[in-house]
Amino acid sequence: MAKILTSKNGTKKEVIIQKAALLFKSKSYTAASMRELAETLGVEAPSLYNHIGSKSELLQAICFKIGNKFSVQIEMIENSSTTIIAKIEAIIRFHIHTMLENFDEVYVANHEWKHLQEPFLTDFLNIRRNYEKTLVNLVEAGIEQNEIKKTNPYVAVLTILSAVRGLEFWQRNKKNVSQQVLEDDMVNHLLNGITA
Amino acid sequence: MAKILTSKNGTKKEVIIQKAALLFKSKSYTAASMRELAETLGVEAPSLYNHIGSKSELLQAICFKIGNKFSVQIEMIENSSTTIIAKIEAIIRFHIHTMLENFDEVYVANHEWKHLQEPFLTDFLNIRRNYEKTLVNLVEAGIEQNEIKKTNPYVAVLTILSAVRGLEFWQRNKKNVSQQVLEDDMVNHLLNGITA
DNA sequence: ATAAAAAACTAATAAGTGTTAGTTTTGTAG
DNA sequence: CTACAAAACTAACACTTATTAGTTTTTTAT
């Protein structure tokens, strides 16, 4: 049978991970089988083990790639010198960009992290907790400096993160609304509301 | 072995469904086994089949219970006679209430509907589509009547629905923030923003 | 107390799981 | 051309899955 196409997508392992993300997204991690994954690569299941260690390693690779991407970015934004509102806006826009560019992997990291094994599960949750904490601190600082209304910072962060995460469901409407409108309108909604 | 406790939670079938929702939430539908479910009920797996037809029937029951609950409610709100902003506020508050009261089932309906079999999958997605369309129409009307800023209605609905859905992640903070604050701050955020 | 119905049990089945072992084919360097 | 390494293959294993059949226990109604 044919070999795994490597093309310009990086090493064979990376190609497998990418296909795994697509499959895990559409069928969920547990329901997706290694035989199915192999089929999308034009190969028998045992052949995959020449390139990867295990099924759960694939999930780990996906989750930590995305987790680290967000961690790195929020640190950069945190240390930049602008207003707090501008920082929050930058974070929202980063979420939207990353979501639309790495759709499958972000989706899987958001939905399937539950199936990570220890100690990876704990590590992943810590990354997320740190991310959220950074954001909460930012909102708190914004309130102190009168850039942001008095509001519960945990609720505000939950609202923002949940809203951007909802882009998972965007696909269907992609045709009708440009990414720029999507981005601008969502930023504006989350910062300034929709009441006329 | 002991019989399934029926208590005041309704019929035995309903007790099974409730436990199934709890299990499907924590382990996901595919990863949760009937043996595990039976164990939480103090019974052997085959005994469940005296009360239910199949595993997937449990998922159907959960998803359509929640789907119908939301459909009924949005129709009521739609036909009430108040401002559009008030209607949207009522919808947001209804989401929060339902989410916090039927946590397991809402969680499962949101996360595991993918594993519904046809024709139930199609039916469920239609219910959701109708729900969203009703909301989009509401936002469009609000814009026409100058209650709501000019903005893409699909983006606004996505933002609102995603934000309230994010209450799935609320558990941890339950202690620090009262439900009233949670509700008021989120409503205020989604309607009026957070910029000072 | 007794008959009928409900609901539990044990045993088993067929299908599907991730993964390993051992072997053969394919690609690459000298 | 030949040797070596990479990567495919087939066959198989140990396990888990949802579900069925058949039987026994428990509850309910007369």
Q: Average pLDDT for residues B28-49, to the nearest whole number?
A: 96
**3-state SS, residue B4:** coil
Contacts of B181 (CB under 8 A, 6+ apart): A152, A155
**pLDDT for B11:** 82
Band of pLDDT at residue B170, cut at 50, 70 and 90 = confident
Query: Tens digit of pLDDT per residue, chain A (196 long)?
Result: 455 555 555 688 999 999 999 999 999 999 999 999 999 999 999 999 999 999 999 999 999 999 999 999 999 999 999 999 999 999 999 999 999 899 999 999 999 999 999 999 999 999 999 999 999 999 999 999 999 999 999 999 999 999 999 998 887 555 578 889 999 999 999 999 999 8
CB B149 within 8 A of CB A115: no
CA–CA separation, A24 and A62 (whole Å)? 10
Counting residues of chain B whose pLDDT is more than 90, the rounded percentage is 85
User: If interface means Cβ-Cβ distance under 8 Å, which residues of chain A face chain B?
Assistant: 27-28, 30-31, 85, 111, 114-115, 139, 146-149, 151-152, 154-156, 158-159, 161-167, 169-170, 173, 176-177, 181-182, 185-186, 188-196
d(CA B48, CA B116): 20
Task: Calculate the angstrom distance between C1' of D21 and CA of B42.
Answer: 22
C-alpha–C-alpha distance, residues A67 and A109, integer Å: 8
Interface of B with A (CB under 8 A): 27-28, 30-31, 85, 111, 114-115, 139, 146-149, 151-152, 154-156, 158-159, 161-167, 169-170, 173, 176-177, 181-182, 185-186, 188-196
What local confidence, expressed as pLDDT, does residue B68 receive?
Answer: 96
Q: In angstroms, what separates the C-alpha of A58 from chain B's closest C-alpha? A: 17
C-alpha atoms less than 13 angstroms from C-alpha of B7 in its C-beta half-sphere: 8
Tens of pLDDT, residues B126-154:
999 999 999 999 999 999 999 999 999 99
Contact by Cβ (8 Å): A74, A39: no
Separation of alpha carbons B92 and B159, rounded Å? 11
Cα B113 from Cα A133, distance rounded (Å): 31
pLDDT score, position B16:
95
Any idea which residue has 């996505």 for tokens? B158
Residue type for position A62: I
Q: In sequence order, which residues have a C-beta less than 8 Å from that of residue B53 and are 6 or more positions away? A: none
Range 60-119, chain A: CB under 7 Å to any strand C atom: none
Q: What's the mean per-residue pLDDT of chain B?
A: 92
Per DSSP, what are the bridge partners of residue A148? B195
Nearest CA in chain A to B166: A162
Rg, Å, chain B Cα set: 19
Q: Which of A108, A81, A106 is nearest to A96 (CA)?
A: A106
Residue with tokens 């729900």: B131
Of the pLDDT bands very low, low, confident and very high (cuts 50, 70, 90), residue B1 is very low
A177-184 long-range contacts, Cβ below 8 Å, gap at least 24? A177/B152, A177/B154, A177/B155, A179/A96, A179/A100, A181/B152, A181/B155, A182/A96, A182/B152, A182/B155, A183/A93, A183/A96
Residue B164, pLDDT score = 94
Q: Name B195's bridge partners.
A: A148
Q: Which of B28, B139, B193 sits opposite A193 (nearest CB)?
A: B193
Tokens describing residue A62: 């996906």
- Residues near A63 by Cβ (< 8 Å), separated by ≥ 6? A108, A109, A112, A113, A116, A120, A124
Nucleotides of strand D within 7 Å of the protein's CB atoms: 6-12, 16-22, 26-27
Task: Report which residue type is found at A159.
Answer: T
Mean pLDDT, residues B67-76? 96
Q: Which residue has the tokens 């990291």?
A: A109
